[in-house]
């Protein structure tokens, strides 16, 4: 008879215990040896006497875990602990001043109506306001483009055609009656499909939820409807807000269909870049607006944490999730942000603070920092980055070299992992995480499982270091008003942890013809300044006016 290797025998024994425990809804007693093994995972060491003392408490904890798990907690239930990004003694302006958007200039409907697909919100708004075109005509044009081009891009999960046509007709009737709601009235847009829309599926891009209906409408969608905007599509996201792979495939980069659009706001950035929507709503926890905006050559705003209500949005990390626009221009982002910001009485993290945006800003009167080590480290895009600094100097900016706080940044990333694992606890425990398309090590199923071994103490300690980061960033912004940085690197995670706003804009193309980007970081709740600075830079360049030839009428990459 053939003998089994000892490791097989041990594995079989362990599997038998586990299976037996599951079938009987009991667990093997916790032993001193189990504790010793667990110590190796968390990097601590106890004595045998200490381990023996632990055993009754660990058994009690496990019983309590089981009791807690009997309570149904869906993704919409937040923890009672709320993240506060505001340092002690920091105050903010309270007076809201009138906002004057940039004048659109002389705008006419082009001979080829599809060229409008690449007009800015300001330009489209002027055409609608002056009734040179109707919202219905514009909406039908975008719907036709969505149907024609999405088989190549895979950027759409659900077309909301019936709703869109209804909203467009309503907008036209209101405008004809003299009830003009503002620059978003009648403008077609798309929303990342982690935002609930009553009557339509909200799939979160993930196979386990592909037929999910949520019986409510997210606050952001409701606010845009109140502004008169027209929802034409629910757009793709990497499954559960990671990457560009969803249950229907991979969303493509309009500049290179062999390449993914990055994520997780994959469809939002791709659809804007390809001229399938006038703007889109994305979300960011750690780069999910910045990364696809970079890949697709769009402009994005990640607002301050606590600026935009997340009610009706899929929760990934309650202390890091943020909702913001992806669009053609900086001012497009400002227009959308003005419509979606502010409290709704449902998301307790949202603060009621003014947004005093003006496009008129004198860079010579600002203290503008640049993240010196990041510019030195990003050698792959040195030419584009250096050109940004030179452009800002020509515009009058006096650039001040700065550095980030000297505290560990990447070690804090498990804050996101722990919160995400809690948000999708039931998915892991039910074993339905195996339905997700991506099952590699660097994907949610594995991350959720690994997060079960993050000690609660270490999660709290990481957030205490995060508190120190917030204080250090307050000191940095005591000496500057805004800073510019390459889009990737430690700054991206750090500012997502501290909640600072970011505007990402295209700044050129690499040697392979793919778009590149630069990011501007503002102080907490000061989107007005960082948007105005980014607009000043963008107005001095034309990278945002370059379009992917496969999707622009006539196949031109140049300006309209």
Residues labelled as active-site residues: 192, 264, 288
Helix (H), strand (E) at residue 54: helix 48-69
Which residues neighbour 72 within 8 Å (Cβ) at sequence distance 6 or greater?
none
**If we measure between CA atoms, which residue out of 273, 251, 269, 270 comes closest to residue 260?**
251
Q: Tokens 């270490």 belong to which residue?
A: 458
The DSSP code sequence of 417-463 is HHHHHHHTHHHHHTTGGGGSS--STTSHHHHHHHHTTS-HHHHHHHH
Tell me if 388 sits within 8 A of 541, measured CB to CB.
no
Which residues neighbour 27 within 8 Å (Cβ) at sequence distance 6 or greater?
21, 62
> Phi-psi bin for 169: left (phi > 0), alpha (psi -120 to 50), beta?
alpha
> Phi-psi bin for 270: left (phi > 0), alpha (psi -120 to 50), beta?
alpha
Angle at 261 between CA 152 and CA 389, to 5 degrees: 135
What residues form DSSP beta bridges with 173?
none
Angle between helices 414-423 and 456-479 (to 10 degrees): 130
- Which pair of tokens denotes residue 522? 């503002």
Helix (H), strand (E) at residue 295: helix 290-296
Tell me if 270 sits within 8 A of 293, measured CB to CB.
no
Q: What are phi and psi of 248, to 5 degrees?
A: -100, 0
């Amino acid at each position: 008879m053939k003998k089994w290797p000892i490791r097989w025998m041990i594995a079989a024994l362990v599997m038998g215990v586990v299976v037996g425990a599951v079938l009987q809804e009991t667990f093997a007693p916790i032993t001193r040896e189990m504790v010793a093994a667990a110590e190796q995972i968390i990097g601590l060491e106890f004595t045998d006497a200490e381990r023996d003392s632990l055993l009754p408490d660990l058994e009690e904890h496990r019983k309590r875990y089981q009791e807690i798990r009997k309570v149904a907690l869906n993704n919409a239930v937040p923890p009672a602990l709320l993240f506060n990004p505001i340092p002690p003694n920091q105050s903010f302006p309270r007076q809201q001043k009138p906002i004057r958007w940039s004048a659109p200039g002389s705008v006419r409907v082009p001979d080829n109506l599809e060229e409008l697909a690449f007009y800015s919100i300001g330009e489209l708004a002027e055409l609608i306001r002056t009734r040179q075109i109707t919202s219905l005509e514009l909406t039908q044009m975008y719907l036709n483009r969505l149907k024609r081009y999405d088989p190549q891009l895979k950027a759409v999960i659900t077309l909301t055609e019936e709703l869109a046509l209804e909203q467009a007709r309503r907008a036209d009737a209101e405008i004809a009656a003299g009830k003009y709601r503002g620059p978003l009235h009648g403008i077609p847009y798309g929303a990342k499909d982690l935002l609930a829309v009553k009557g339509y599926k909200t799939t979160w891009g993930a196979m386990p939820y592909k037929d999910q209906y949520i019986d409510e409408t997210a606050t952001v969608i409701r606010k845009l409807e109140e502004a008169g905007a027209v929802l034409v599509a629910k757009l793709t996201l990497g499954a559960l807000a990671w990457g560009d792979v969803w249950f229907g495939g991979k969303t493509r980069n309009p500049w290179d269909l062999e390449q993914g659009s990055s994520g997780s706001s994959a469809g939002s950035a791709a659809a804007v870049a390809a001229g399938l929507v006038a703007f889109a709503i994305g979300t960011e926890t750690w780069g999910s607006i910045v990364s696809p905006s970079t890949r697709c050559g769009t402009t994005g705003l990640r607002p301050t944490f606590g600026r935009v209500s997340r009610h009706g949005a899929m929760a990934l990390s309650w202390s890091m999730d943020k909702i913001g626009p992806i669009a053609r221009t900086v001012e497009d982002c400002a227009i959308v942000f003005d419509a979606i910001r502010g409290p709704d009485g449902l998301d307790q993290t949202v603060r009621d603070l003014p947004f005093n945006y003006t496009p008129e800003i004198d860079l010579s009167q600002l203290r503008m920092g640049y993240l010196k080590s990041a510019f030195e480290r990003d050698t792959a895009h040195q030419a584009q980055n250096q050109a940004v600094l030179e452009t800002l100097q020509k515009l009058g900016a006096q650039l001040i070299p700065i550095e980030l706080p000297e505290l560990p940044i990447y070690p804090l990333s498990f804050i996101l992992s722990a919160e995400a694992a809690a948000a999708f606890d039931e998915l892991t425990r039910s074993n339905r995480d195996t339905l997700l398309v991506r099952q590699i090590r660097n994907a949610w199923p594995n991350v959720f499982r690994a997060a079960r071994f993050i000690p609660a103490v270490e999660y709290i300690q990481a957030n205490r270091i995060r508190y120190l980061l917030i204080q250090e960033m307050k000191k940095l912004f005591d000496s500057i008003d805004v800073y510019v940085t390459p889009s990737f690197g430690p700054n991206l995670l750090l500012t997502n942890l501290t909640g600072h706003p970011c505007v990402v804009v295209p700044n050129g193309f690499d040697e392979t013809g793919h778009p590149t980007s630069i990011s501007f970081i503002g102080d907490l709740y000061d989107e007005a300044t960082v948007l105005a600075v980014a607009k000043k830079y963008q107005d001095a360049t034309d990278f945002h006016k370059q379009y992917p030839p496969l999707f622009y009428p006539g196949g031109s990459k140049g300006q309209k």
